Structure 1
Amino acid sequence: MNGGLVVIRAGVQSTVQDLGRRQAAQWGVPQAGAADPLSLALANLLLGNAPDAAAVEVTLGGAQFRFVAATDFALAGADCAAHLDGKPLLPYSRQRAQAGQLLQLSPPAHGARTYLALLGGIDVPLVLGSRSTLLAAQLGGVAGRALQAGDVLHAKANSTIGLPSLAIVPPSWRPVLRLMRGPQWGNLSTEAQSRLQKQTWQVSHQSDRMGLKLLGDKLQMAIPIEMASQAVFFGTMQLPPSGLPILLLADAQTTGGYPIVGQLIQADLWRAGQYRANDQIQFQIVDADKAVLALRAQQNWLRKIQRIVCSSI
């Protein structure tokens, strides 16, 4: 029997996510997928899964799951002080559960999202090439909605033998997000360009999986501009008429009409997905060469972790 679990308590918001519908923008369908793609990939990597296998994204903890069969599982992302039948578990670890055991995830002290992966990934239907949940369109995952108490999730692989427990060192956290200049960067006043980088921004309570709304001193455009809609992506920074930036996340629309003043580098997308209301953010402008070097360093680190994990399986 393949492993699986039943949702006892779904917490603030829990959804099934993979790495999203990367080819669906041509149809106007948002990418969706994990708000922290690095942590999802790490949870899968710990089990020997493909990096884009579907897992449960738990936002702000407070969730409980009961295993319906003996199951290998892994946790990554925000540390929710996880307990299995009362036994504390390390974050970023691979564990073995027996049928009937209860996994409890408390609200994290830091970070917003925790990823729970099962061996082989979670078995929900593919929709437009992905198993991820797009809540705004009621698409993918479990009936296109957030998980509810009583939902049963099955693993795609049988884990009758069981893997040894294993934990890895979490990726390093820094409160500064690296941003490349966007196509309308030059329309900002010199003062606004400086303020964007020097100011400490606060995450608004109105933030969600679509984007982080930022609070601080308003940014002014030196050159007013009226724009047609243009393509936007996970990590795009838009500047609406309010003068307060919005940093788009995984569920963002595919096009937008606000000026684009920046684009988060790919290596820092995962950090953006871990911010929550009232957290503070600073931005550092970098060029494309530094963005490529940062992504290459992250990919090399992932390959190193993968070699360690493969040697333990």
Structure 2
Amino acid sequence: METFSSIECFVRSAEVGSFAEAARRLSLTPAAVGKSVAKLEARLGVRLFQRSTRSLTLTEAGKLFLGEVSASLHTIQNAVANLASTEGRPAGTLKVSMGTVFGRLYIVPMLGEFLRRFPEISPDWHFDNRQVDLIGQGFDAAIGGGFELPQGVVARRLTPAHRILVASPEYLARCAAIEQPEDLQHCEGILIRSPQTGRIRSWALTSRTRQQSPLNLKARMTMSDSEAACASAAQGLGVALVSMPFAVGYLNAGTLQRVLPGWYVDDGNISIYYAEHKLLPGKTRAFVDFVIEQFAEQGLEQRFSAV
């Protein structure tokens, strides 16, 4: 059991690159984690980390050992967690990351039904528009779009991530007719700045017949959030390029209308992400299956499609 604990300390330290952060996640002291790893190195007869006052990096032997034991450690931990669940039902803290507005509008309303089905699960939900380190930061799952897929993480598609052009009826009534993508160059644009990079991305419009056209929309203002862009466009301030899930409510209310409804931006998919394990924790499996089920039952994939 002491060796198992030492391996857990080693794996956590390797994942986060710090004895102190590993100790925080394991509810131990940094000294205890360092001592445990040192005992493991003595038992194996090799140095697993190169240590300095500023960094903790794996040696070649450490990289090799991590590759051998990491997956097995997670499988054993998941098996123990599943066995320890209340009478075999999914239980435990469920740590999930999701976009702030998307999560509030579409995932939080599912919470009541989810807890009715799985009352032993305790949600720990984090709302952030940036991609998290799913494994390194100890998340069970994440929901979002446009994320890179790190090694050891899998994705289940929920809906296409389409962006559309919208404007208020008042704005469209006073500006020149917009019939082709080229007509957008004369409009006042409300553009989205990436919260990750701080830059305004160059988008290509796609037609329903899969034609391509550059998006030439001069910036009148920039936002880092589609909900804010929708609210600005609803005031008659210009044409906004926004994510479909945020536009749906405004379109249904009639405060916004689609501009060039035959064109949209294809930005990949919105997916649910989780760590790939041979034995997925019951709480994670329950959440993933539930969200996929709810997207299907509520027809969200169709509602969020711009086609």
TM-score by length of 2: 0.29
* Higher radius of gyration, 1 or 2: 2
TM-score by length of 1: 0.29
